[in-house]
Amino acid sequence: MDYTDLYINGTWHKTADRFDVINPATEEVIASVASADIADADAALDAAEKAMADWAVRTPRARSEVLRKAWELMTAQLDHFAHLITLENGKAGADAKGEATYAAEFFRWFAEEAVRADGMITHAPASRARIIVQHKPAGLAVLITPWNYPAAMGTRKIAPALAAGCGVIIKPASETPLTMLALMPLLEEAGVPPGLVNVLPSRKTGALVDHMLHDPRVRVVSFTGSTGVGRKLLKSAADQVLKPAMELGGNAPVVVLEDADMDTAIDGTMLAKMRNLGEACTAANRIYVHESIADEFTKRLTDRMSALKMGDGTDPSVDVGPLVNADTRNKVAEFVTDAVAKGAKIECGGTVPEGKGYYYPPTVLSSVPEHADCVQDEIFGPVAAIQTFTDQEEAIRRANNTEYGLVAYVFSADFKRALQVCERLDYGMVGLNRGLVSDPAAPFGGTKQSGLGREGGHDGMLEFMETQYISASW
C-alpha cells in the first residue's frame, strides 16, 4: 500500500486537493500526496484529544513498552526507511541509513525515559507543609518538522511526546511527507492507539498551523526550521501562551587551533560540513583555521572534498546526492558567486553541473572575507568556507559574532585549553574534537536566535510536561 493520504484517528483519508512530491535526483514526481485543510485539522485534534484521555493515564511502563516495540520494528526496517528518505530528500544511501538508525534510537531512548519523570517530596523550610512536585502531560502537541531529516525530526518529537503522555498532530514538510506517513503503520503495530498520532501533510501550512495553535486543546508547539518561521510561530503561540520548543537556524563556527591534530580536524570538519550534504542547522558554516596551519588544512580538505562522488543517492557508490530543490541549489550557488566576487578563491567545485537533478558539487572556498554572505547566513549546502585567524581571542570573538547560537566545533590537542575555549563560546552545543553532536541521550538545542528548549536527553520529555506543585499538610 502507498501511504499518501492523511492519517487521522488511525485511518487513511483521501482529499481532492493533493500536491506532488519530487525526487530531487531526477526531478520526477514520486507521489501525489493529500493536502489537509482546516476541517482535517479539527478532526485530528478531536481524535488526539480522545486518544490522549486514555494514554495519559496509562502507566509509564505501559507507554514505555509501546515505544520500545516501535524501536524494534523500525530497526528491522532501516533499509526501507533509508530508501524512502533518499527518494524524497536526495541524500546518499549511507547518509539516509544513518538517519534512519538515529531516528529509531529516539524510540528506544524515550522508552527508557518514560519511567523516569521523577518528582520529589520535601519539607517546606519555614512551615509544617510538605512540598510535593510531580510532572504531568502538558496536553495536545502540534509538531512541525523540516525536510532535511524526514524521519529523525519526527521521531525526535513523537517519542518524547508519547513518553510524556501527550497526543500529537504532525505537520511534515511538503517536500518530504512520505517518510513520516510510512511510519504510521509501524506505530500501529507497536501498539500506539488510534488517534494518538495524526499526520497532516498540507500545502496550506500557514493557515493550518495557525488554526491549530489557536485551538484551546493545544498546549505545546514543537518546531524545527528557520529562525524566521520560528519567530512567526512564537507570535501565534503567544496568543494561548503555549509551551514552545523551537530548534531554529544556525551559523556554526569551526575553530581549528594551531595545536590541533590534523587528521582529527579534517575528519571532524568533513563530518560537520558534509553530513546530509550540509543541509543541516548543525552544519559547519564558518571554518576558522589558525594561519600557521591553514595551507595544509585547506589542501587536505580540498583533496577530501574533491574525492567525493556525486550522483543519485540510490546508487550505493555515491557519496553525495542532490540538494532538496532548485531554490536551495540556487541559493548555494549565489553564496559562492558572492564570496568569489568579494575575494574568495575556489579550491574545488563551485559550478552547477548540467543535466537533471538539483546537484551542487562539494566546494571549498579559501580566503573568504568576513563580509561575504556565506559567513553571515546559513549556507545549507556542500560549501566549506575557510577563513584564518591569528590568535585564540580573535577566533572566539569572531565565532560568537552572530545572532545564532546552536552549535560550534573546536579542535585542539590541548584538552584543558579546548575546554576553556568551549566554555566561552555562546552556543547551546559544542563538538570538541568531533564533528557530530547529535545524540538522543543529549539535550539538543541552542541559545540566542537558534531557539528555545531542548530535544533529546531527559529535557526532551519535560518539554511535553507541566510541573505541578502541591503544598500538603497531614
Residue type, 134: Q
User: Is residue 281 among the annotated active site residues?
Assistant: yes
C-alpha distance from residue 242 to each of 52, 128, 186, 286 (Å): 18, 35, 30, 34
How many whole angstroms separate alpha carbon 225 and alpha carbon 2? Answer: 27
C-alpha distance from residue 404 to each of 227, 248, 331, 332 (Å): 9, 9, 20, 19
User: Is residue 247 among the annotated active site residues?
Assistant: yes
Q: Which of 166, 281, 348, 374 is catalytic?
A: 281
Distance, CA of 90 to chain centre = 16
Closest CA to 180 of 150, 203, 159, 158: 150
- For cell 525530526, the residue is 153
Q: Which of 88, 105, 247, 463 is catalytic?
A: 247
Closest CA to 269 of 244, 242, 249, 294: 294
Contact between 123 and 131 under an 8 Å Cβ cutoff? The reply is yes
End-to-end CA distance of the chain: 59
What does the block give as the cell for 183?
A: 511510519
Between CA 411 and CA 417, with CA 413 as vertex, the angle to 5 degrees is 80
- Where in the sequence numbering do the catalytic residues fall? 247, 281
